[in-house]
Structure 1
Amino acid sequence: KSRGVAILIKKNIPFTEIKVLKGKEGRAIMLLLEIMSQKMLLVNIYAPVWGGGPTFFYRLNAKLQQFNDIPIIMGGDFNEVLDLQLDRSIKAKPHVSGTNRAIHTLISDFNLVDVWRVVNPTMRDYTFFSHRHNSYSRTDLFLISRSLIGDTFAVDIEIRTISEHAPISFTHSGILGLEKSRNWRLNVSLLRLPEVQALVKKAISDFYKCNPKGESDTGLLWDTVKAVLRGKLISYATNRKKERLQKTIELEQEIKEKELALNFHNLQYLKYEFNKLMSQKVEFALFRVRQSYFEAGEKASKLLAYHLCKLTASHNIHMIKNDSNRQMVTNRDINLTFKQFYSKLYTSESGVDISDSNTYLADIKLPCLDPGDRDVLEAPIATPEIKKAIEIIKSGKSPGPD
């Protein structure tokens, strides 16, 4: 219970799990998967702090041998720096530890690179602060196969807020462009805010001033006012989100500056403000979960519809290949490829002469109904016919909604 690692994958990412390996002590997990027609090995580790580092990495090296020639993305807390000069804030006499040698052996054997250092060759930035030594170090890393460097989009060290470690974000452009269509849903928690209540009242009042009821259809007016309110609420929510995001960015920058200056008194207050913003985000996410599952009470209809919606989304087409064997991943490119394929499929390759078609149709003698039979078919249904139809219905059957 004192340690553990995990690999989380967003639900709209199309992938196929091939193999999973877990460490006995909860310090490593490996996931071999296929994503975008490419096999990839994801590894998450939490290396021991004292003593067992070299043994841990040599064992990890041995386990990775079975995944030869497969691109690797390895991340986690290595509890060791790679560059003894650049990855520490305190300049000390270089001492190459056994753990450091084991990590470099792993990097050499599998042709890995420290992707953050590749993007920032001479920059100093750190992921861990030691209160005991009053120093910073970069012990949280992303090691990736050299073949993946060309697809690297961004690597960033984020700010430390709750943990003593700073999170690292690494974007691989191989899965960029995967889109998820979303239906707009009203954020009902906004209706509790006094300014939103005033906004809604004013919007309804202004609408009926410009659109008096008169002889207008009530249903049409209701649909129109809903569209107006939707626009107002989307605009308000968007501005509110931008303000919150801007405040978050400013707090992140200020926290980073205070960290480098070792100003711990002001740093605690800034972290409190930042965590308060994050807590609001988490509360809203939990609110949405409760709404999805419990707003229908004991009725199963809403819950069933929610799961069917998720099931439908999981069957979406996330990638196809066009005539040039190129992979199309965005919704726009996929739709365009389908359009081109079916346009070509249903385009006749032979020319048609309209005069020949008219001559052919003119010579065809199609059967016609007699006037008497036509009158019988068009006559109203009689009561004996209905009784006869009911009598021949199989027992135990009932009409459906159709």
Structure 2
Amino acid sequence: MDLHIPVVRFLTYNTKGLNIPEKRHRLLREARALHASVLFLKETHFLLGSAPSLCTSDYPTGYFSDFHGGKSRGVAILFSKSVPMTLDEVLEDRDGHFLFVKCKIAEQQYTFASVYLPNVNQQRSLRSILRRLSSFASGILVVARDLNVPLDPRFDTSTGRSSVPSSVLRHIRSLDDLKLVDVWRTLHAEERDYSFARVHASYSRLDNLFVQQKNVLLTKEATIMAQTLSDHCPLQAVLSSPLFRPAERQWRPNTSLLEDPLFVADIDTCLRTYFEENETPDASVPILWEAHKAVVRSVFSSQATALKRPDLIISRVGWMKYETLSCYITLQD
């Protein structure tokens, strides 16, 4: 993958409970090491109203759907500090089965959903959740789910069953209604890899991340990671996002340059030329605006470098004089 293409990195975990502090810390350390932009969590097992803090300086923004009936279920979505996210709306489930977050990232609309299906009445629950998601979602839809069933038993289980149960077919039809595509299977058409281990060496792929068909070409990578926190493996997916630039460090212009009339005139000419050449009917306004910032930064940086050059020369000359004087004193001694 081209490292210069701006991307959003998604990481989804079925954690089997995060009430132990060390487990929470380990999760966030792993997410930071993997440069996760958005973190989907299932089975957090937080009790509604008394959940421990999960947000840190690396992941300062988080949304939670906790179960009101005890320490079970629960889903969450966390955002990295590098993500320029503006929240639009959140929809939580009091039963802790789903959480929807609608937001903008650098003016691109996204809807994120973290879903954990119950062990009973799965098809009815899935249908109900997807109906609510359909009316809620807008923009690029990303859904992280633990369906508790493999979508294709022929490839998604170690037993390699040749038939697909009717319950799974109903799941697939529900997903098709929303035109959701399993990104890992899309990139690994007939490969076998598993995200969940049962007793007696039985394996299956239960953890999925979906996007809609119209956005599937945005997917650059999808990887099932090694087990770390529970008997489920985390799943990582990378989507290109032309409007997203991770915040490596905050750039601040040297505002003293604006006191120079010649520099202000240069900036004015440069921006007029930029918009005259690039502001066309088919140009995206958000992309045009993001690109203009790079132009301004380039002009500021060039001028700042030009002003520093004489100071650098003077500094080097002064250092040479100091070295010469030091040598002379040494010889005199």
Tell me the TM-score normalised to structure 1 length: 0.45
Matched, 1:33 2:33: no
Counterpart AA for 2:236: S
1:392 is aligned to none
Which ranges in structure 2 are unaligned for 5 or more consecutive residues?
Answer: 1-70, 252-274, 303-333
Match of 1:165 among 223, 232, 242: 232
Deviation at 1:333, TM superposition (A): 7.1
1:335 is aligned to 294
2:81 is aligned to 11
- Distance, in Å, in 2 between the alignment partners of 1:17 and 1:68 is 13
- Distance, in Å, in 1 between the alignment partners of 2:91 and 2:184 is 26
2:165 is aligned to 96
Deviation at 1:177, TM superposition (A): 3.4
- Distance, in Å, in 2 between the alignment partners of 1:331 and 1:17 is 20
1:315 is aligned to none
Match of 1:125 among 183, 193, 198: 193
Deviations 1:365-402 (A, max 9, x none): xxxxxxxxxxxxxxxxxxxxxxxxxxxxxxxxxxxxxx
Match of 2:153 among 84, 88, 98: 84
Matched, 1:144 2:214: no
- Distance, in Å, in 2 between the alignment partners of 1:70 and 1:24 is 25
- Distance, in Å, in 1 between the alignment partners of 2:118 and 2:201 is 21
Supply the RMSD in Å over aligned alpha carbons.
Answer: 3.0
Matched, 1:63 2:132: yes
- Distance, in Å, in 2 between the alignment partners of 1:165 and 1:18 is 31
Structure with more of its chain in helix, by fraction: 1
Task: Tell me the SS of whatever aligns to 1:142.
Answer: strand
Structure 1 ranges of 4+ moved more than 6 A: 329-333
Deviation at 1:93, TM superposition (A): 5.3
> In the superposition, relative to structure 1, how do residues 164 and 48 fare at CA in structure 2: closer, same or farther (>3 Å)?
same
Deviation at 1:155, TM superposition (A): 0.9
Which ranges in structure 1 are unaligned for 5 or more consecutive residues?
Answer: 184-320, 344-402
Deviations 1:302-326 (A, max 9, x none): xxxxxxxxxxxxxxxxxxx964545
Is the contact made by 2:148 and 2:206 (CA closer than 8 Å) also made in structure 1? yes
Structure showing greater radius of gyration is 1
Is the contact made by 1:57 and 1:102 (CA closer than 8 Å) also made in structure 2? no
More displaced 10-residue stretch of structure 1: 82-91 or 102-111? 102-111
Counterpart AA for 1:65: S
- Distance, in Å, in 2 between the alignment partners of 1:45 and 1:52 is 15
> In the superposition, relative to structure 1, how do residues 180 and 20 fare at CA in structure 2: closer, same or farther (>3 Å)?
same
- Distance, in Å, in 1 between the alignment partners of 2:86 and 2:250 is 24
Q: Percent of counterpart pairs with the same letter?
A: 27
Matched, 1:109 2:177: yes
Counterpart AA for 2:157: R
- Distance, in Å, in 1 between the alignment partners of 2:162 and 2:219 is 34
- Distance, in Å, in 1 between the alignment partners of 2:117 and 2:239 is 24
1:344-383 aligned within 5 A: none
- Distance, in Å, in 2 between the alignment partners of 1:61 and 1:331 is 34
Counterpart AA for 2:249: S
